[in-house]
Amino acid sequence: MDEEGKGIVKIKGKEVHVPNLIDGETAVVEVLCQRNFINAKVIRIEEKSEYRVEPKCKYFNKCGGCQLQHLSLEGQRKFKQKSVEKLMKQYHKVNEIIMMEKPYFYRNKVHSTLAYDKNGKIISGIYEENTHNVIPIEECIIQDRRADEIIASICKIMRVHKMKPYNEDTGQGFLRHILVKTGFASNQIMVVLVVSSQIFPGKNNFVRELLKKHPEITTIVMNVNDRKTSMVLGNVEKVLFGKGYIEDTLCNCVFQISPKSFYQVNPIQTEVLYNKAIDMAKLKGNEAVLDAYCGIGTISLIVSSKVKNVIGVELNKDAVKDAIKNAKRNKITNAFFYNDDAGDFMVSLAMKKQNVDVVFMDPPRSGSDEKFLSSLVRLLPKKVIYISCNPVTQER
């Protein structure tokens, strides 16, 4: 199986990646030839893997959000263990994967796209894999249930107010996306309405009706994206209710989370991950630490009590503002944050001959770039702790 969980088969001497096929299975597949590549889909499984299960999600074969629900949890563990070992065994022994005990309804960030179905009814959901066709989702088994309920209510209010979902082909319509962020520990809820215009007809009534149905909502923010683009969020924001942010607690630190701030989507496993990363650093208490790609300062602030000082660097200026506020909120005085490219920032540190003992790096899924890595070599830290959401780019 490849890194996306697709089965790999040979057809006419060519390697073909087939969704919903598990190692060791025998299946009848339909070959779909394209100009430059071959696709295939499973028609019938003739010999099933011992790890094959019926997916819990009724949208599994359509939405493309989860790729491994046809594998049992043990099958998923073995697949992921094998995938990482294949990439990393040439460098070091790979320890056993730490599994989540109950991997359902944990996701604290939900993004829903709006459209009309064939009958002209407003629907919300996510894009079908490799398309911009919206698959209507009533309940997602990995995301916070409250988010699904709030999104369903928004769709109903839209119908009453005759509010149109945005059509990215025509550029017409008003509401583009709904973003719901929840605090796992705080139970706070943020609703972000991504709209195509700063003029929100019936805004006060809309907000009033939504809060009447869901008094648990902590804040509502209008984000204006008036560009013809696939980017979700725009640059202009207006708070319609509450403070415009929520708070959550992670590893005993309180964090402010804004609409554009990156915050790990699985709070339970994030605590496991960060504690493991800090343990691996074997800190003695006198270290100077650099947290590259620091976001809203999660690692920086969590590690601050265990080191002499910590510097966080992040390119997203909104995240840096949150990081500074989070340091003040937690009364942490040995953490300092800078809005800069991580590679450029490390070059400047090296030129100043500033000592850095430990670097924590948690880059985006695309991985770190050559400039950053060459800067890291110039800085010469004693330890580097590389946290990655994509082992393929980490190995590269």
Domain extents for the chain? 7-88, 109-244, 260-395
pLDDT digits (tens, 9 = 90+) for 249-260: 999 999 999 999
Q: Are 260 and 295 in contact (CB under 8 A)?
A: no
The pLDDT, as a whole number, for residue 394 is: 79
CATH number of 109-244: 2.40.50.1070
Is the fold of 7-88 the same as that of 260-395?
A: no
pLDDT digits (tens, 9 = 90+) for 144-197: 999 999 999 999 999 999 999 999 888 899 999 999 999 999 999 999 999 999
The pLDDT, as a whole number, for residue 342 is: 87
State which residues of the chain have pLDDT below 70.
34-37
The pLDDT, as a whole number, for residue 13 is: 78
The pLDDT, as a whole number, for residue 286 is: 96
User: Cβ contacts of residue 254 below 8 Å, gap of 6+?
Assistant: 247, 248, 326, 329, 330
CATH number of 260-395: 3.40.50.150
pTM of the model: 0.90
CATH number of 7-88: 2.40.50.140
Q: Which of 57, 66, 251, 389 is catalytic?
A: 389
Is 389 a known active-site residue? yes
